[in-house]
């Protein structure tokens, strides 16, 4: 298995926390779809999944994907089409895991991200070594709202150490977090 072909990323819109610590389903944003698709393609992810249980949100994603994969956007901006060609929308995390396993024949190692340190936090270097040496698929999970719900963090095989700057403020947009994580995992200076 190639180093790049075993990496998948997913943006979970449920279960996520809101600012009051309640489990909610967050809204899909057009900006996240565009920016994360481009990051996923740039850093060699096999596929980028948007996960939402809401039918109207999945239809919204499908409309955008259709425009850029098959509609006018495909001929207008071929580079954007190429990024969206690896983007899919699914209903839940189980569906994504089953699809990856079925398509590859290999198990899925789930890696969560969080803005706070978790009990099973691992380093980027540790994960890069596993990705190079283990015959597994690696699914990196990103949350929306105020982060992934505890139940997702508990399902993960590993949680990456948080991204931290020199201040105590730590509330990046998910687009920024995905970019930083992917560069730390797959960037030329990290391999």
Residue 180 near residue 2 (C-beta atoms within 8 A): no
Answer positive or negative: Cα dihedral of 12, 38, 46, 174. Answer: negative
* pLDDT, position 118: 86
Phi then psi for 109, rounded to 5 degrees?
Answer: -100, 115
* pLDDT, position 4: 57
| Pairing of the two strands 16-17 and 87-90 | unpaired
Q: What is the mean pLDDT of residues 5-13?
A: 95
pLDDT at 20 over 60: yes
* pLDDT, position 191: 58
Chain-centre distance for alpha carbon 3: 17
What pLDDT band is residue 3 in, cutting at 50, 70 and 90?
very low
Chosen CATH of 4-53+87-186 out of 3.30.450.90, 3.40.1280.10, 1.10.1270.20, 1.10.1060.10: 3.40.1280.10
Chain-centre distance for alpha carbon 116: 17
Q: So where are the chain's domains?
A: 4-53+87-186
Instruction: Record the tokens describing residue 99, joined without a space.
Output: 């699809």
pLDDT at 185 over 50: yes
What pLDDT band is residue 117 in, cutting at 50, 70 and 90?
confident
Give per-residue pLDDT as tens, 39-96: 999 999 999 999 999 999 999 999 999 999 998 999 999 999 999 999 999 999 999 9
Question: To which residue do tokens 């109207």 refer?
Answer: 56
């Amino acid at each position: 298995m190639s180093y790049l072909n075993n990496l998948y990323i997913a943006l979970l819109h449920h279960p996520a926390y809101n600012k009051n610590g309640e489990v909610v389903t967050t809204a899909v944003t057009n900006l996240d779809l565009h920016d994360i698709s481009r990051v996923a393609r740039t850093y060699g992810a096999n596929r980028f999944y948007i996960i939402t249980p809401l039918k109207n949100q999945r239809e919204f994603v499908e409309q955008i994907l259709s425009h850029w994969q098959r509609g006018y956007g495909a001929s207008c901006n071929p580079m954007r089409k190429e990024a969206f060609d690896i983007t899919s929308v699914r209903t839940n995390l189980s569906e994504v895991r089953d699809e990856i396993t079925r398509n590859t024949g290999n198990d899925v190692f789930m890696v969560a991200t969080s803005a706070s340190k978790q009990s099973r936090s691992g380093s980027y270097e540790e994960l890069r070594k596993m990705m190079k040496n283990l015959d597994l698929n690696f699914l990196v999970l990103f949350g929306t709202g105020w982060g992934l719900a505890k139940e997702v963090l508990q399902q993960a095989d590993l949680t990456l150490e948080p991204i931290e700057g020199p201040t105590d403020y730590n509330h990046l947009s998910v687009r920024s977090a995905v970019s930083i994580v992917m560069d730390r995992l797959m960037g030329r200076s990290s391999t």
